[in-house]
Amino acid sequence: MSVAAAQAAAFYAEVAESDLVFTIRDEEGFPAPMTPSGVRSQPFWSKRSRAECIIKNVAAYQGMHVVEVARDDWLNKWLPGLESDGMLVGINWSGQAATGYDLSPSDAVRNVSALTQG
């Protein structure tokens, strides 16, 4: 299993357990870097510590702060907004370049909902 696949699996399991997701922002707003496919992606993490690690270790994100989002707000407000803006969702980006899986908001809703229903 690739690092990105392992991070994605951890994302879904941890969000199902905690009912929280985390993103980062600064005074200019939320980062949404361009992916290699030419589509912007907003990153989210399944643990505060994961987001803090990116802020600490990736120069582009230094000075940002962590924003906690309830899972239901993320699923019902954030992701539909990203979908309408034509953006992707980055999940548990890691490493010195803050990379990982980028997927459509509708795929993120489906994947998280599958683990949290019941």
Which pLDDT score is estimated for 19? 93
d(CA 118, CA 86): 30
pTM of the complete model: 0.93
Note whether residue 38 is domain-resident. Answer: yes
Q: How confident is the model over 10-55, as pLDDT tens digits?
A: 898 999 899 999 999 999 999 999 998 899 999 999 999 999 999 9
Q: Which CATH number goes with the domain that contains 98?
A: 3.40.1350.90
Strand pairing partners for 90? 43, 102
Instruction: Supply the range of the domain harboring residue 35.
Output: 3-108
Note whether residue 117 is domain-resident. Answer: no
Please provide the average confidence, as pLDDT, over all residues in the chain. 92
For 73, other C-beta atoms within 10 Å of its C-beta total: 12
Mean pLDDT of 82-86: 97
Note whether residue 118 is domain-resident. Answer: no
Helix (H) / strand (E) element for 92: namely strand 88-94
- The number of folded domains in the chain is 1
Note whether residue 116 is domain-resident. Answer: no
- DSSP codes of every residue in 24-75: EEBTTB---PBPTTS-BEEEEBSSHHHHHHHHHH-GGGTT-EEEEEEHHHII
